[in-house]
Amino acid sequence: MENGSFPLINMELLESTRRPDAMAVLRDACENWGFFELLNHGISHELMDKVERLTKEHYRRFQEQRFREFASKTLEAGEDKKIVDNLDWESTFFIRHLPVSNIADIPDLEGDHRATMKEFAVELEKLAERLLDLLCEDLGLEKGYLKKAFLGSDGFPTFGTKVSNYPPCPRPELFRGLRAHTDAGGIILLFQDDKVSGLQLLKDGRWVDVPPLRHSIVVNLGDQLEVITNRRYKSVMHRVVAQTDGNRMSIASFYNPGSDAVIFPAPVLVDQQEKETYPKFVFEDYMSLYVRQKFQAKEPRFEAMKAPIPTA
């Protein structure tokens, strides 16, 4: 990685004599960027190509017309700042994988697409767990610590995929593809369009493009990893900028704690940093606050979690 350039990690290097170099990039990415991009991550290009083809076909057949109707009404109201400030220029649906899958209930998903998304989710889950162990290694935590920290009382994390399309926007000066936010959860794995850009992260006060690379997986860290690492790692604000040309595909998979998982800074990291920066809380309590404050700064959410839970 060149100094200051977006962090790219070739995972094949982790199995070679250059492993220390790759781990150094990973550490810098987690501590200073909150984002990195993986190459040679083990998910077959053939599967990724199939996911992309079926996802783009699905949008054209089942979502595009609905989005055009939404866009027409939205553009009519385009000068109303109150409306514009609370809208995202995106077409999206969500698939839950764990603890219980809802993929059979997603309307308009044809059999081949359904099966392909299930296969892709299995591969992403394995990759997320491999990454969590690499983070444990970097942090000096015992192997499996982060995976265990994410488990709910049912023995599962929460794992799901947001499938989004960001169609061309004739008024990008008015609308954002997706408003700036940090992600609430754990580790996020993104398969994004390699031809249409738009994803940006906030670094050192300026917006930086996340480069679209074919067959890469973009990874970013959520708020819960910031808490568990006692701010050693950081979740960062990111957004999608609406484009005038091209329809950007985004398939973001969220490997998050189970709803009743109790989240708190890892004791070994508190000892290293001399003080505990974050409170202990239940993940679903954080999420109930996050859904109301997603597009606001994260710090007040963390502060709110310090308040004692009122008793009935």
Would you state the pLDDT for residue 2?
A: 41
104 domain-assigned = yes
CA distances in angstroms from 138 to 17, 19, 89, 190, 264, listed in the order given: 17, 12, 38, 22, 19
Angle in degrees, 0-180, between the axes of helices 111-139 and 45-58, rounded to the nearest 10: 130
Instruction: Tell me how many domains the chain contains.
Output: 1
Give the domain CATH number at 61: 2.60.120.330
For residues 238 and 199, the answer to whether their CB atoms sit within 8 Å is yes
Q: Could you report the per-residue pLDDT of 219-244, keeping only the tens digit for each?
A: 999 999 999 999 999 999 999 999 99
- With 80 as the cut, is the pLDDT of residue 165 above it? yes
Q: Could you report the per-residue pLDDT of 7-53, keeping only the tens digit for each?
A: 999 999 999 999 999 999 999 999 999 999 999 999 999 999 999 99
| Band of residue 311 on the pLDDT scale cut at 50, 70, 90 | very low
- With 70 as the cut, is the pLDDT of residue 308 above it? no
Cα distance between residue 251 and residue 296, in whole Å: 23
Q: Could you report the per-residue pLDDT of 199-210, keeping only the tens digit for each?
A: 999 999 999 999
192 domain-assigned = yes
2 domain-assigned = no
| Band of residue 307 on the pLDDT scale cut at 50, 70, 90 | confident
1 domain-assigned = no
106 domain-assigned = yes
- Cα 192 to the center of its chain, rounded Å: 11
CB atoms within 10 A of CB 268: 14
- With 70 as the cut, is the pLDDT of residue 79 above it? no
125 domain-assigned = yes
Extended strands (E) in the chain: 8-10, 35-39, 91-98, 158-166, 178-181, 187-192, 199-203, 206-209, 217-221, 238-240, 248-256, 262-263, 281-282
3 domain-assigned = no
Give the range of the structural domain holding residue 245, as residue numbers without chain letter. 8-306
Q: Could you report the per-residue pLDDT of 118-145, keeping only the tens digit for each?
A: 999 999 999 999 999 999 999 999 999 9
Supply 30's token pair. 């987690």
pTM of the predicted model, to two decimals? 0.94
114 domain-assigned = yes
Would you state the pLDDT for residue 4?
A: 57
CA distances in angstroms from 258 to 88, 216, 283, 285, 293, listed in the order given: 27, 27, 7, 12, 20
Please state, for a pLDDT cut of 90, what percent of the chain lies above it: 86
Q: β-pairing, 206-209 with 248-256? A: unpaired
